[in-house]
Every structure is written in structure tokens, then in C-alpha cells.
Amino acid sequence: MMMTLYNNPSRNQWASLAKRPELELEYLGSTVKNILARVKKSGDQALKDFAGQYDKVLLENLQVSEKEFQNAITSLDPKLKVTIQMAFQNIYKFHYAQQTPFLEVETMPGVVCQRKAVAIEKVGIYIPGGSAPLFSTVLMLGVPAKIAGCREIILCTPPSGNGEINPAILFTANLVGITKIFKVGGAQAIAAMTYGTDSIPSVNKIFGPGNQYVTKAKQLVAMEGMAIDMPAGPSEVLIFADDQADPDFISADLLSQAEHGEDSQVVLVTTSTSLPEKVNKAIELQLAQLPRKVIAEHSLRNSRCLVFGSVNESFEFINEYAPEHLIINCAEADSKVDKVINAGSIFLGALTPEAAGDYASGTNHTLPTNGFAKAYSGVSLSSFQKFITVQEMSKEGLMRLGPVVETMAEAENLIGHKNAISIRLKKIHPDSE
């Protein structure tokens, strides 16, 4: 039995069962602060020094050249290209449909209020390097940035030891329309996008996942006023399943999350007393085949299986947990969606694994972890927009609304506010006093 089993845990245990392993980032503070300070002070030179130190590469230029783009496009496996294009289409379609229409309301005669979406001017996307080249994240962040119409979209990602960027990342960036890519990884990339260097422009908002250094750096620059996509934590899935669910599917879904990293959380919530044992057997069989077996085993040790007496109680716990990914694999899965208050993204039915949304269904895979789904949403088109309100009063509007504002301002002891109305009323109707 790899997952710890809890049978009908009492409600006073729920909070601790919904708790994630604590992110220990404090000890990184001084290291990351030093990196930020060095980039702020020495710009490109600091970035090149860090590339030598961390990426073991001597970089002449930080920016990916046109030739490197062309090489990537030529060299990438044609099957993968077609595949990325299909995912692109789905993600584009779903995010394009998220546009907020221009709003205009005449709240009272002569008082018109509007609200409009405006793209954030400059955004930065961070894509981690390492064993998994996350070109899917290039789609998830690049596509809505392009649809929003951000004027400047830059991307930072660490180079490999030979100074190159994975061709799938370059192909995807080019497909999306991102042409400014910089070979910078880690906390130094966050610093560069915050302060700007000769090569790398500063941006208004930073998006993207990363290791602990990147997470800590985003936290620190957020304290300095930089906007970031959302607070980060390890990825997680919670599966709700009943007796009818196929244990092989559940096991595969749990493992697909467990392989992400040793700190990933996977949780199974079920009303079935027989399912947990079947799932554990399936996990044993499937785990043996998995290349990232060691990682998955480690994260399974932190993970939980909870058996509840009813569907309603199960969903009460699920809302307390507020999972990043929620798979609902049970009879009449559709009918359960309205029970969900807190989740990042929901995967419905036996045939919709989380992997579908991770890559290509069309939804965004940048989602709130660590219970943040209680107050935060995943990345969407509006993450790359601001909404500006506009109001305009006609003479009629001023005459109707003016006295309301005068009375309220006076009651709040803000006579200057009142005067801004009175002086106008007096001028349009000099005899009104």
C-alpha cells in the first residue's frame, strides 16, 4: 500500500488532511536576493556570469538569433510539429472565446459608465529547462498573451550545456509569434525581466513555473511591486472516483501527476471501500514501467486516499482541499460539477485524464496549487489584460448625480470632493444658488 488510507476521517482532521507539504523557501532568501542584486547592478554581464556558473556555458549573445530559430524549425520532428499545431489550435480557440466584450451602461440618465479590456503592454514568460522541455507552457502562456495583444512578449529559458535552447521550445515560440527569446534561467531571469538589462527589457508582469529559486525570486520581486501570474506550489491532482471507476485509469492519472516532482501531491477521494486496494495494485504494476519511477514513488509517499460515506461529504472535503486538478471519474460525472466550489480545472468522466488539459484540450494548465483555488483562478486571457473603467456625465447627468455626490462627500467630511461638483453645477446653472 503506497498511499496512506484514511477511512471516514472526522471533520476535525480535514484541515490537516488538506494540508500540503510546506514549501521551505526562506533558506533561499539570501542566495536569491544576491542574484537579484547582481543582475540589478551588472545587467547582461551578471547574466553571462551566471550562465557560466549555473548552466556551464559561455554565452556571447543572450538573445536567440534568427538562425537558431530557423535551425529549430527545420530540425524538429515533423510529427511533433503537427501535434503542437493541433494543440495550438485548441488552446487558441478556447482562449480567444474568453474575450470580455466592451461594456457600456447608462446607470442613470446622462451618466454613462464603460469598462474595457486593454492588454498589459509588456509581459515576460519564464520556461524552465531541465529534463522536461516545457514547450506546452510556451503555448499556455504565449497564446493568451498574443490574443490579448500585448505589445512586447519576451521569453526567458535556460540554455543547455552547449548554449542551445530545445528546438521544440523555439518552434512553439515561433508558432505563437514570440520572437524575443533569451538564454537566461533561474532567479536571474526573473531579475532581468524585473529590472531590465541592455539586452532584456523590463516587463509589467511575469508568468511561468520554475524551481524553488525561480519561485522565491518571483515572491521577492512581487514584494517590490512586480505583478506575477500567481503564487506557486508543487503540482497536485485530486481524483474523485466511485465503484464504477477503472482502477487502471485512476492509477495512470495518479502516476502522471506523481512523476512531475518529488513534492507533487496526489489524492484519491472515493465512496468505494473496495477501490483503494485495486488502485494500489494497479499502481504497483504501472509504476514498475515508469521511467520517472523514483520520483513518482517518492511523491506517492506524501499522498493520501480518503474514503467517505457519501458523495456530498466527499465534495465537502474536496472543496476544503481546493485541488489544482480535479478528476471526477464516476457515474454521472456531469452532475457533480456544481458541487465544486474550489478547484483550478476539472476533468470529467472516465475518458478525460488530466494529461488532456496539461497539453491540448484547450484549457490552460497554469493553475492555482496549494489551496489557492479558494481565491485564485488559473491563467486565462484576462491574466494578460487590465480592465479600465470610463465614465462621462452630460449636463443632465451632472444635475441628477451631482447632488447625490455632494451629500455623500459632505457626510464623509470631504468638502473638496463636494466642491468639484458644486463648482460645476454653479457654472452650468449660475442661478441655482
Q: Which of residues 51-110 bind a second copy (CB under 8 A)?
A: 77, 79-80, 83-84, 86-87, 89-90, 93-94, 97-98, 100, 103, 105, 107-108
SS3 65: coil
Q: Which is nearer to a second copy, 16 or 58 (CB)?
A: 16
Nearest to 126 by CA among 43, 50, 186: 186
| Active site (catalytic) residues | 324-325
Q: Which is nearer to a second copy, 214 or 421 (CB)?
A: 421
Among 263, 290, 298, 339, binds a second copy (CB under 8 A): 290
The rounded distance, in Å, linking the Cα atoms of 305 and 280 is 10
Residues 13-42 that bind a second copy (CB under 8 A): none
Among 180, 252, 277, 313, binds a second copy (CB under 8 A): 252
Using CB under 8 A, count the residues that bind a second copy. Answer: 131
CB 184 within 8 A of CB 214: no
Asked if 302 is part of the footprint of a second copy (rule: CB under 8 A), the reply reads: no
Asked if 341 is part of the footprint of a second copy (rule: CB under 8 A), the reply reads: yes
Asked if 111 is part of the footprint of a second copy (rule: CB under 8 A), the reply reads: yes
Q: Is 72 exposed, middle or buried (0-12, 13-18, 19+ CB in 10 A)?
A: buried
Asked if 2 is part of the footprint of a second copy (rule: CB under 8 A), the reply reads: no
If one counts every other C-beta atom within 10 angstroms of the C-beta of residue 271, the result is: 18
Q: Cβ of residue 9: shortest distance to a second copy, in angstroms?
A: 21
The rounded distance, in Å, linking the Cα atoms of 184 and 186 is 7
Q: Which is nearer to a second copy, 63 or 355 (CB)?
A: 355
Nearest to 358 by CA among 238, 269, 256: 256
Interface characters, 151-190, with a second copy (x: CB under 8 A):
-----------------x----------------------
Distances (CA, A) of 53 to 48, 183, 212, 404: 9, 14, 18, 64
Among 17, 49, 286, 298, binds a second copy (CB under 8 A): 286
Asked if 395 is part of the footprint of a second copy (rule: CB under 8 A), the reply reads: yes
Asked if 288 is part of the footprint of a second copy (rule: CB under 8 A), the reply reads: no
Asked if 404 is part of the footprint of a second copy (rule: CB under 8 A), the reply reads: yes
The rounded distance, in Å, linking the Cα atoms of 308 and 255 is 22
Among 160, 199, 211, 382, binds a second copy (CB under 8 A): 382
Among 294, 331, 414, 432, binds a second copy (CB under 8 A): 414
Q: Cβ of residue 50: shortest distance to a second copy, in angstroms?
A: 25
DSSP 8-state class, residue 110: T
SS3 174: helix
The rounded distance, in Å, linking the Cα atoms of 90 and 251 is 27
Residues 124-153 that bind a second copy (CB under 8 A): 131-136
Asked if 249 is part of the footprint of a second copy (rule: CB under 8 A), the reply reads: yes
Among 31, 63, 204, 211, binds a second copy (CB under 8 A): 204
Asked if 416 is part of the footprint of a second copy (rule: CB under 8 A), the reply reads: yes
Among 16, 413, 431, 433, binds a second copy (CB under 8 A): 413
CB 32 within 8 A of CB 220: yes
If one counts every other C-beta atom within 10 angstroms of the C-beta of residue 164, the result is: 15
Helix (H), strand (E), coil (C) string for 17-49: HCCCCCCCCHHHHHHHHHHHHHHHHHHHHHHHH
> What residue type is assigned to position 25 of the chain?
L
Q: Which is nearer to a second copy, 43 or 397 (CB)?
A: 397
Q: Cβ of residue 66: shortest distance to a second copy, in angstroms?
A: 24
Q: Cβ of residue 48: shortest distance to a second copy, in angstroms?
A: 26
Q: For the CA atoms of the chain, what is the radius of gyration?
A: 26
Of the candidate spans 154-162, 176-184, 189-197, 411-419, the one that interacts with a second copy by CB under 8 A turns out to be 411-419
Write out the H or E segment, with its range, that includes residue 360.
Answer: none
Half-sphere exposure of 361 (CA within 13 A, CB side): 15
Q: Is 310 exposed, middle or buried (0-12, 13-18, 19+ CB in 10 A)?
A: exposed
Asked if 246 is part of the footprint of a second copy (rule: CB under 8 A), the reply reads: yes
